[in-house]
Amino acid sequence: MIGLSPETTPTRRGEIMTDGVITKKGVSPGKTLTIMAGVHGDEICGPEAFKELIPTLDIKRGTVHFIVANLEALTLGERQVDMNLNRAFRPNKLLTAKERGTYERKRALELMPYLRESEALLDVHSSMTKKSKPFIICEPHSFPIAKRLRFGIRSHGWDVIEAGGTDYFMNTMGKIGICIECGNHNDPKAPKLARESIIRFLTIMGAIDGRLPRECKSQKVMHAFGIYKTETNFRKAREFEDFEPLPKGTPIGYDGKKKVLAPENMLIIFPRNQDLPGKEAFILGRYE
Ligand SMILES: [Zn+2]
């Protein structure tokens, strides 16, 4: 668990860690915020950033919940135990009976109260794609904050195609929900980017002191406009980079025996082989 034990543990200066949650309070009033890491258990850049940052961070204003989300998956070193935790933050009626019985759904229900009391969320992720570009996932109401994080791309449209994430849950309440993808899981730059982004986010939100980070003028905007789900299973035709541009008609892979081609000029994101029907094989995007 990378030094973050799931048990209730008293930490420095009276901060309490309960079941993966450390709450730090400033002496002055301010916003309530949540920083989340380890929603997927194989994405260790967030928990690594927490380990270094949390003991040193001096929260001046408001309340910040630091949450290590998928404790069991992190212990296993796997993406998930029973289901994708980032699809479990949905109303009950949008989940199957099987999904409602999973560890991840139970964990999502435990974590929802922290999100309900927070004004804004930063959720730290990384990608299994080897050549992955760091990018931001958020909807346009969070763009003013996303612009000040040091990423080359901010993307939107994900709530429609992949409902049930932590940022989706915040968006349904009209709050700020920002997910950062910090690059490949094993890229040593990923935890550094995670740390820097957490500091920028807390500065922008007024929780810590510091100069307001500048807007990244070169940041591109990408619309995630579609998702390919398997009919039977999926095998990639080759390795792809995240955000690789594919001209219309490019072979992407096979769904069973059926060839899957790019339906139009598109960018491909998160391509992955899948063994079962109804699974997410890749995301389709375009720059705006
Ligand atoms: Zn993730």
Task: Tell me the CA–centroid distance for residue 102 and ligand 1, in Å.
Answer: 18
Rg (CA), the chain: 19
**pLDDT at 5 > cutoff 90:** no
Chain-centre distance for alpha carbon 64: 18
Per-residue confidence band for 15, with pLDDT thresholds at 50, 70 and 90: low
Q: Characterize 232-271 residue by residue with b for buried, 16 or more Cβ atoms within 10 angstroms of its Cβ, and e for exposed.
A: ebbebeeebebbbebeeebebbbbeeeebebeeebbbbbb
Alpha-carbon dihedral 150, 155, 160, 165, rounded to 10 degrees: -20
**pLDDT at 12 > cutoff 60:** no
Task: Tell me the CA–centroid distance for residue 168 and ligand 1, in Å.
Answer: 14
Alpha-carbon dihedral 186, 190, 192, 197, rounded to 10 degrees: -160
Give mean pLDDT, residues 53-76: 95
Task: Tell me the CA–centroid distance for residue 41 and ligand 1, in Å.
Answer: 8
Pair 25, 63: CB distance under 8 Å: yes
Task: Tell me the CA–centroid distance for residue 29 and ligand 1, in Å.
Answer: 32
Give mean pLDDT, residues 8-25: 67
Task: Tell me the CA–centroid distance for residue 181 and ligand 1, in Å.
Answer: 7
Kindly report the average pLDDT of the chain as a whole number.
93
Per-residue confidence band for 3, with pLDDT thresholds at 50, 70 and 90: very low
Task: Tell me the CA–centroid distance for residue 39 and ligand 1, in Å.
Answer: 6
Residues lying with their CB under 5 A of ligand 1, a single-atom ion: 40, 43, 125
Please name each of the domains of the chain with its CATH number.
Answer: 9-204 (3.40.630.10), 222-287 (2.40.50.100)
Task: Tell me the CA–centroid distance for residue 162 and ligand 1, in Å.
Answer: 12
Number of neighbouring beta carbons within 10 Å of residue 109: 13
Residue 17: its pLDDT value, please?
63
Residue, of 7 and 226, whose pLDDT is higher: 226
Task: Tell me the CA–centroid distance for residue 155 and ligand 1, in Å.
Answer: 15
Q: What is the DSSP string of the chain?
A: -TT--SS-EE-GGG-EEETTEEEEE-SEEEEEEEEEE-SSTT--HHHHHHHHHTTT----EEEEEEEE--HHHHHHTSS-SSS-GGG-SS-GGGS-HHHHTSHHHHHHHHHHHHHHT-SEEEEEEEESSSS---EEE--GGGHHHHTTSS-SEEEE-HHHHS--SHHHHHHHTT-EEEEEEEEETT-THHHHHHHHHHHHHHHHTTSS-SPPPPP-TT-EEEEEEEEEE-SS-BEESS---TTEEE-TT-EEEEETTEEEE-SSSEEEES---BSSTT-EEEEEEEE-
Task: Tell me the CA–centroid distance for residue 13 and ligand 1, in Å.
Answer: 31
Task: Tell me the CA–centroid distance for residue 40 and ligand 1, in Å.
Answer: 5
Task: Tell me the CA–centroid distance for residue 14 and ligand 1, in Å.
Answer: 31
Residue 130: its pLDDT value, please?
83
Task: Tell me the CA–centroid distance for residue 126 and ligand 1, in Å.
Answer: 6
Tell me the per-residue pLDDT of 243-272, one tens digit each, with 9 for 90 and over.
999 999 999 999 999 999 999 999 999 899
Name the pTM for this structure. Answer: 0.91
Give mean pLDDT, residues 124-146: 94
For residue 214, which phi and psi values (nearest 5 degrees)? -70, 155
Tell me the per-residue pLDDT of 179-224, one tens digit each, with 9 for 90 and over.
999 999 999 999 999 999 999 999 999 999 999 999 999 999 999 9
The percentage of residues in the chain with a pLDDT greater than 70, rounded to a whole number, is 94
**pLDDT at 233 > cutoff 70:** yes
Give mean pLDDT, residues 144-173: 96
Tell me the per-residue pLDDT of 68-103, one tens digit each, with 9 for 90 and over.
999 999 999 999 999 999 999 999 999 999 999 999
Task: Tell me the CA–centroid distance for residue 43 and ligand 1, in Å.
Answer: 6
Task: Tell me the CA–centroid distance for residue 255 and ligand 1, in Å.
Answer: 24
Task: Tell me the CA–centroid distance for residue 28 and ligand 1, in Å.
Answer: 33
